[in-house]
């Protein structure tokens, strides 16, 4: 159902739905009218409020009794108890077998072109202070 067809918050239909939920979720139309202090006729209440809630699927009407549906509870933000679904048991975790490190597959250090590391000789500035190159940072507590 499109959101534009649902009753607006704090409208007569929404307040009647909340009143029905607050008095137990099952009540007669006359009880909902009494709780909401409806000043009009029962026919007008059924036409303006109850029929609209039923069309939206928020309540179920059987005779003169109204009950809040699961969609109505969800609309009001009340968690709906879902039926647990039997799932498939989970298999054990896969752990790859331990193997020795194959050093032959590691790449050797390639040739470095001349002048590639000249940036290490140029000091940097941090504010007014001159800072020389310190190399790659190591683990915490290591000094270079």
What does pTM read for this prediction? 0.54
Count the helix, strand and coil residues of the chain and give each as a percent rounded to the nearest 5: 35, 10, 55
What are the residues whose beta carbons fall under 8 Å from the beta carbon of 75, sequence distance 6 or more? 6, 17, 58
- Domain-located, residue 111: no
The pLDDT, as a whole number, for residue 140 is 52
Question: What pLDDT, in 10s, does the model give residues 37-84?
Answer: 888 898 999 898 999 999 989 999 998 899 999 889 988 888 877 777
- Which CATH number covers residue 58? 1.10.10.10
What residue numbers bound the domain in which 69 lies? Answer: 3-76
- For residue 75, the Cα-to-chain-centroid distance in whole angstroms is 16
- DSSP 8-state code for residue 105: G
pLDDT > 70: percent of the chain: 91
- The CA radius of gyration of the chain, in Å to the nearest whole number, is 36
User: Is a pLDDT exceeding 80 seen at residue 99?
Assistant: yes
């Amino acid at each position: 159902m499109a959101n534009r067809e649902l009753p607006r918050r704090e409208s007569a239909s929404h307040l009647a739905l909340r009143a029905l939920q607050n008095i137990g979720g099952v009540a007669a139309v006359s009880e909902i009218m009494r709780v909401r202090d409806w000043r009009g006729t029962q026919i007008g209440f059924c036409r303006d409020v109850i029929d609209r809630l039923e069309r939206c699927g928020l309540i179920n009407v059987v005779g003169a009794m109204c009950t809040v549906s699961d969609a109505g509870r969800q609309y009001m933000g009340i968690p709906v108890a879902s039926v647990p679904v039997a799932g498939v048991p989970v298999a054990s975790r896969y752990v790859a077998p331990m193997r020795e490190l194959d050093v032959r597959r590691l790449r050797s250090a390639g040739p470095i072109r001349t002048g590639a590391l000249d940036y290490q000789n140029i000091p940097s500035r941090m504010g007014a202070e001159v800072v020389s190159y310190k190399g790659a940072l190591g683990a915490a507590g290591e000094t270079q």
